Amino acid sequence: MKVILLGATGMIGQGVLRECLLDPEVTGVLALGRRPSGQRHPKLVDLVVPDLLDLAPHAAALAGHDACFYCLGVSSAGMGEAEYRRVTRDLTLAVAGVLVGLNPDLTFVYVSGAGTDPTGRAGAMWARVKGETENALLQLPFRRTYLFRPGLVQPLHGIRSRTWVYRLAYSVVGPLLPVLDRFFPDRVTTTERMGMAMIEVARHGWPGPVIEAADVNALARAAAARRAGRPGP
């Protein structure tokens, strides 16, 4: 399986990249972004594009892939709705529109968020914009589209968020996350499980397009079972 990964330098993207590089069935990873991933690996190619709205010159490099893991995103803190919509909705759909034309059998996995509102009635601006983005992605003719809505995500293996708001939050709640994971397993996941779940859903599918935290953990367990040579649940 050949994968395109966006957001490889973000917290979730770093975890997804790690799992892709570890998985023997992922034969290649194209990290598409405005800056290099910062990693070196025989399976990894960095495609640095200063303007992700202009992907036409890179069509040859973007073709021939099986899955796209779209982990690119920003915090809405301090952003107006127009700016947040431009980065969250418009950019995502522009990239997806190019990829669907180049890869008709592509599985597109989008990192959304718990609390996203696809009805457009939410009071929270970010939830409405994420919901609009989800709805628009589902209209594109990808082979399959999955919308990941994790809640709390525990960073593992030395991974840290590049967003200061999240770093501050994790410095406060981080020590509690393993406890919350134990007692509220449907609410908490990890960067490792996010990566394993994306690979698993791209390979084997899932009954519906929305993947909540509990689904992420179930998919990760199935992936771990397959790696160990046991049948997945």
Structure tokens at 226: 């397959």
User: What are the C-alpha distances in Å from 94 to residues 91, 97, 155?
Assistant: 5, 5, 29
DSSP for 5-45 reads EE-TTSHHHHHHHHHHHH-TT--EEEEEESS--S---TTEE
DSSP character at residue 118: T
Is position 233 within any domain?
no
How does pLDDT run across 178-200, given as a tens digit for each residue? Answer: 766 676 667 789 999 999 999 99
Is position 232 within any domain?
no
Is position 218 within any domain?
yes
8 Å CB contact between 101 and 64: no
> From CA 115, how far away is CA 129, in angstroms rounded?
11
pLDDT mean across residues, the chain:
91
pLDDT surpasses 80 at 159: yes
User: How large is the average pLDDT for residues 12-32?
Assistant: 97
User: How large is the average pLDDT for residues 158-164?
Assistant: 69
Q: How confident is the model at residue 123 (pLDDT cuts 50, 70, 90)?
A: confident
User: What are the C-alpha distances in Å from 196 to residues 168, 189, 208?
Assistant: 26, 11, 18
CATH number, domain with residue 55:
3.40.50.720
pLDDT surpasses 70 at 84: yes
> In the prediction, which pLDDT does 232 show?
52
Range(s) of the domain holding residue 45: 2-227
pLDDT surpasses 90 at 152: no
Is position 29 within any domain?
yes
User: How large is the average pLDDT for residues 156-179?
Assistant: 66
DSSP character at residue 2: E
What total of structural domains would you count in the chain? 1
